Amino acid sequence: MVRNPVARPVVLLVCLTAAAGSTLTSCHHAQRPAAEPSAQTATRVPLVSPGFPPSAADARSRLAKLTVAWGKNWETYKRAEFGETWSDETDAPGGRNGCDTRDDVLNRDLTVIKQGDRDACVPLSGVLHDPYTGRELPYSYRRASQIQTDHVVPLGAAWRAGAWAWPPVRRLTYANDLDVLLAVDKQANYDKSSKTPDKWKPRREYWCEYARRWTGIKVKYALTVTPPEKTALQEMLATCPP
């Protein structure tokens, strides 16, 4: 889906700063009234890699093969190392499709979603069934919301687990990879910050899915796990149904 630069309305971005080391800042669009797009029902498209997240069995097997090591270079972490803003110019899932990364996440994760016909990338409204808390959160294009975009394995945690040694292009890809991202409750995102699963967990009903995603990301990017982190992931994967 490629934006038409002639038909695009003028858009302002209003940003809320997330907790340090957690995610990119969370932004909502505030659009000038004269350019208000008319609503249409969204056409949903796959915005994840095939086979992601791995099954519980695959996650257990892959977790066992990950390198176990304590984090390194935590004191050198800077958010800017992963890019200053969202970028569509990566080869990650959702990259180079003409849409802002955060809009891709909202289009994938919201339900009852409507989009504008002048810029079909931009969701006008919807509802998020927050995976971390179980809450239902409304979203509106023109109002600040309680929804933020979270890196499941936070940027700070990825840095400590090996991203400190990556070239800038790989870090930019990671920061915009839709496999790594979820739309979530803002307060839960603040509470999580850059914590690993031994220090923060979502609601118990989401443990299985969360551990599958976390493990899948660590495998995809060849990141290490700490001993307590691995134990916590094993505990969470044990809650998966047979």
| Alpha-carbon dihedral angle through residues 21, 160, 109, 39, given to the nearest 10 degrees | 50
pLDDT, tens digit, for every residue of 81-132?
999 999 999 999 889 999 999 999 999 999 988 877 778 899 999 999 999 9
pLDDT, tens digit, for every residue of 43-90?
444 577 899 999 999 999 999 999 999 999 999 999 999 999 999 999
pLDDT band at 1, cuts 50/70/90? very low
Long-range contacts of 30-35 (CB under 8 A, 24+ apart): 30/142, 31/141, 31/142, 35/9, 35/10, 35/118
| Alpha-carbon dihedral angle through residues 110, 184, 10, 171, given to the nearest 10 degrees | -120
Q: What is the rounded average pLDDT of the residues 4-32?
A: 37
Asked if pLDDT for residue 219 goes beyond 70, the answer is yes
Instruction: Give the predicted TM-score (pTM) of the model.
Output: 0.81
